[in-house]
Structure 1
């Protein structure tokens, strides 16, 4: 299969270099130009499905041209940067395609982030124009910006047929922000040459025209893989709405409904999808041919769970920082086995080096460096940070070649694969988000009343924990609320503990290992799960059962009825666990989306009471809606088949 023939070149006793398959990159067009080329040849093929709306390639490029025309009218020029604040939808895809057609680079923001964070990001990127969806006017206030609404319908005359403003290989394509060590986010600037090369490598490793389920927000670089890898190959992109992406059971429904063949998500979410599939029937996942996981460490237990559930579906573990254009290595599993991050993707060069930047022998830990065609230009407006992280590549033999210093520790195995061994600094991943623990500590230190703070990540990398030395009267709720106004959800600690002081090393620094042990030892006992209660009927005190479920999931000794789940330390993954606990204790399994909307103990108790008496009606409504959607898709497919038969 193309893309799997990776070699490990030797340097004698100095150690190996991982050299990816040579990528036939000469003459590769920019990704948006390739999408327009696909649209010319397959205009009636389905390009994007989202929220019940089916859009073919002709309709997608029509919308993109309208966006590009409006951007030009708003003063956007080639090389500029345009913000994107659009919910996951066909409009979101048309927005980024239109921005690239205008010759500009797109800068995505997550609407779930605080407005101050969004404005800070756009200001740092020099954004003057924002493509935004409905309901986001307030998020774009506070600086000089010209909003351009995303196009919801194909109701305007066709603009000129050109694929857009010509771009050079070194023109910027997008800027995606990562956490900064001082609390300020850093924008990674990726050029068209790197985006085109990374996408070409993806088509080599994953050939064919996939039906791809996109669950990643646009501000995750894994969305780059899903959008451009699918559309440049003529595949069908199924975009989960924000509501669907939060609910594994709805994602299972999308996979079945649209015959999804490929999905990319973090391991934690994939585990929840498998759990949901197990509840409703794993046959609903039978169309999946490839499952790709990335963004977090892949547990071996999940590999085993995958092949027990879907033995005919290959599992691929991808690795790669945003700075190397989505990915740098991959390990393709066709059966359960030892977890590694595999070998280089086509066009990549992987080096495991010591402190002197010399290669280390197999089996020896060193820092992982990534070279090759995917290495990004650098950090936008941060030449010092760029110079420290993007350094000369002495092994490439190409003038001007650079490699990216990942900060990850790795080692080569005897069969030429890479094992991920951790970080050399205090950076970590939380639910797929890159988080600098020092950045969160810096934000904590700026809160009035906080005198000192230390931040740790929990053992499953699903949440942060903070220990705080604070002035009298300062509460964990106050500290968390102040952080939530400044930081994305993944950077807000789920648990905040007030302390008189910290354990210290001999040189006076906080002893994080000792602090972690003390925090673990100081956890309140987790309430034992209660017996399942039948529904309807809901015997006993329902509010007490819901509170006990919260205490179990959040590891709290008691929970006030009016506390917000997310203020008490809950997060998106914890909602899945809460759903299980509520089913055990109350006998009713509330929809995940409903739990996001009903966020107090009292509200959830009332929700469960309502569901117990109306669940049959809810299920019937859902089944009718799915049947109607399938009918619409079948009718569209029949019309397309008739047109193709007539053409032949």
Structure 2
């Protein structure tokens, strides 16, 4: 016997009692009920068929499964839909369910005692079951619904979102029965506007014709003595940063760097690393970051795959690149131009922060902690919260220029990743690129100014992960990046990371 489709994340073996159940009621208007009855009569369907179709579509969307199964008490057995093809029309699904119900009519007169024996469960009355969620439907001029749910499995907000989606589909079927199933929306109009537009109001005007190196040049003219970079116990002002990166840019041009020329960098994090990056941009080149901790074979592959003309590294790493055929620039360590200061902000992965807390690291007063690269647990949040003045949770892949969503953590109740940064747009979609309801999980897609061109020399992978933006009319950007990560919107507009 196939297992009932589940939409609750909690195992059904969780112990609960009668006090764990609550009821949520709603009814359709007389006009909505009449519309459903008229459509059913004209289509030679029953209201039972319509309701089961709505529930099967909703189950399929919530679970991201094509095969769904649920129980109905009128027949004493489950409705088992072998496959919900999202490319079928709604009317086709209705016809299949109607046929299934007709085939089950032979069990229509099975007694309650026999049903209990078959199900191996005892029911005190027909209004009570031991399932986490049961729907009771009352006929009449206003069709009424009772959702009886186990609070161990569902919150009040969960049920409100489920019933809202249920009503949206129920009212849309009579109007759009010829639509394909994958075109059916679960969102009321007000929620769709909120998710797609209001929560994505991140646009900030900026120069789209100037690169970051040009903006730094402008800042160097305005505030030459202001601190531009702080790393560990070192700092560099804007004048020195601009001058030294200019010198390096001229040197790179002599080596052949220019527009669309790839220059690889393999160095540990340092102030020199920023100077090198800016120098490459000023020379018109494209920088390829190589992590010194990568295996030698991986580094060699990246150099060959990108066809980097120049490699910038230093003496202690040069032996890793003995097979590299391009030009090697050894940047020797220089510290004479730097002054000493104290660090006030630090970004690292949760793994690094866990290590620091384990060895007893203490943050200076007013310290800002930035955490990203992995999911931030509540336990680590509590530990870090005690050490810094502010704690920020960051989310974003390399393909969208590292950080795309940010949240200052000011509560230990949750570790949401927050909302999109400026000029970034977030969409949480199902497999058919439909926006999912608030509270429902879906895949995170990222659009906006930070989306990369694609993967170098991998057009097939680029086409798979960088898709045409179905919401380009809203955010004015042609492509979205498909992250592969699951998330969901919380009622306050923040995003919860679920992977």
With the length of structure 2 as denominator, give the TM-score of the two structures: 0.57
The partner residue of 2:408 within 322, 332, 337 is 332
Q: Decide which of 315, 318, 321 is 1:134's aligned counterpart.
A: 315
Distance (Å, rounded) in 1 between the aligned partners of 2:212 and 2:397: 20
**Residue 387 (structure 1) shift:** 0.8
Residues 1:420 and 2:472 are matched in the alignment: no
> Residue 4 of structure 1 corresponds to which residue in structure 2?
none
Instruction: Report the counterpart of residue 302 of structure 1 in structure 2.
Output: 380
Q: CA deviation at 1:403?
A: 0.8
Q: Distance in 2 between matches of 1:154 and 1:406?
A: 40
Q: 1:292 aligns with which of 367, 370, 374?
A: 370
Instruction: Give the Å deviation of 1:414.
Output: 1.6
Deviations along 1:572-629, one digit per CA (max 9) or x if unpaired, are: xxxxxxxxxxxxxxxxxxxxxxxxxxxxxxxxxxxxxxxxxxxxxxxxxxxxxxxxxx
**Could you tell me which residue of structure 1 aligns to residue 424 of structure 2?**
348
Q: Deviations over 1:470-492 (max 9, x none)?
A: xxxxxxxxxxxxxxxxxxxxxxx
Q: Which of 343, 352, 370 pairs up with 1:260?
A: 343
Question: Which of 255, 274, 288 is the equivalent residue of 1:107?
Answer: 288
Deviations 1:387-434 (A, max 9, x none): 111111111306761111111111111222211111xxxxxxxxxxxx
Secondary structure class of the residue paired with 1:379: coil
Q: Which has the larger radius of gyration?
A: 2
| 1:64 aligns to 2:251 (yes or no) | no
Q: What CA deviation, in whole Å up to 9, does each residue of 1:282-341 have, x standing for no partner?
A: 4x52131x211100110111222233344xx12111111111111221121234331111
Query: How far apart, in 2, do the equivalents of 1:19 and 1:334 lie?
Result: 22
Residue from 330, 340, 361 that aligns with 2:437:
361
Going from structure 1 to structure 2, the CA distance change for 1:336 and 1:89 (only over 3 Å counts) comes to same
Task: Summarize the Cα distance change of 1:293–1:405 in structure 2 as closer, same or farther, 3 Å threshold.
Answer: same
State how far apart, in whole Å, the 1-side matches of 2:356 and 2:491 are. Answer: 34
1:92 to 250, 270, 273: 273
Task: Give the CA RMSD over aligned residues.
Answer: 2.9
- Separation in 2, partners of 1:144, 1:52: 36
Deviation digits for residues 8-53 of structure 1, max 9, x if unmatched? x984466833414212124563111122222223333444455866
Whole-Å separation in 2 of the counterparts to 1:418 and 1:154: 42
Aligned positions of 1:319-468 closer than 5 A: 319-397=395-473, 401-422=478-499
- Matched residue, 1:144: 325
| Preserved contact between residue 20 and residue 345 of structure 1 (Cα < 8 Å) | no
Give the 3-state SS of the residue equivalent to 1:378 in structure 2. coil
Give distance in 1, aligned partners of 2:418 and 2:236.
36
Q: Give distance in 2, aligned partners of 1:30 and 1:143.
A: 30
Q: Distance in 2 between matches of 1:11 and 1:343?
A: 21
* Aligned mates of 1:22, 1:407 — CA distance in 2: 25
The structure-2 alpha-carbon separation of the partners of 1:269 and 1:20, relative to structure 1 and needing over 3 Å to count, comes to farther
TM-score by length of 1: 0.44
| Counterpart contact for 2:310–2:327, Cα < 8 Å | yes
Unmatched runs of 5 consecutive residues or more in structure 1: 1-8, 156-235, 239-256, 423-648
| Aligned twin of 2:393 | 317
User: Superposed, which structure 2 residues align to 1:569-584 within 5 Å?
Assistant: none
Segment drifting more, 363-372 vs 19-28 = 19-28
Give, in whole Å, the separation in 2 of the partners of 1:355 and 1:144: 45
Would the aligned equivalents of 2:257 and 2:283 in 1 still touch at CA under 8 Å? yes
Distance in 2, matches of 1:93 and 1:416, equals 35
SS of the residue aligned with 1:69? Answer: helix
Distance in 1 between residues matched to 2:235 and 2:435, nearest whole Å: 51
CA contact (8 A) 2:313 2:329 kept: yes
* Contact map agreement 2:233 2:342 (CA 8 A) in 1: no
Aligned length: 309
**Structure 2 CA distance for aligned equivalents of residues 85 and 338 of structure 1:** 38
Q: Supply the distance in 2 between the matched residues of 1:400 and 1:272 (Cα, whole angstroms).
A: 40
d(CA) in 2 for partners of 1:265, 1:376: 23
Partner of 1:497: none
Specify which of 202, 226, 237 is matched with residue 21 of structure 1. Answer: 202
The Cα of 1:346 is off from its aligned counterpart by 1.6
Q: What's the secondary structure of 2:274's corresponding residue?
A: helix
| Greater Cα offset, 267-276 or 101-110 | 267-276
Structure 2 match to 1:32 = 213
Partners of 2:321 and 2:435 lie apart in 1 by 48
SS in structure 2 at match of 1:136: helix
Q: What's the counterpart of residue 475 of structure 1?
A: none
Cα distance in 1, alignment partners of residues 381 and 347 from structure 2: 15
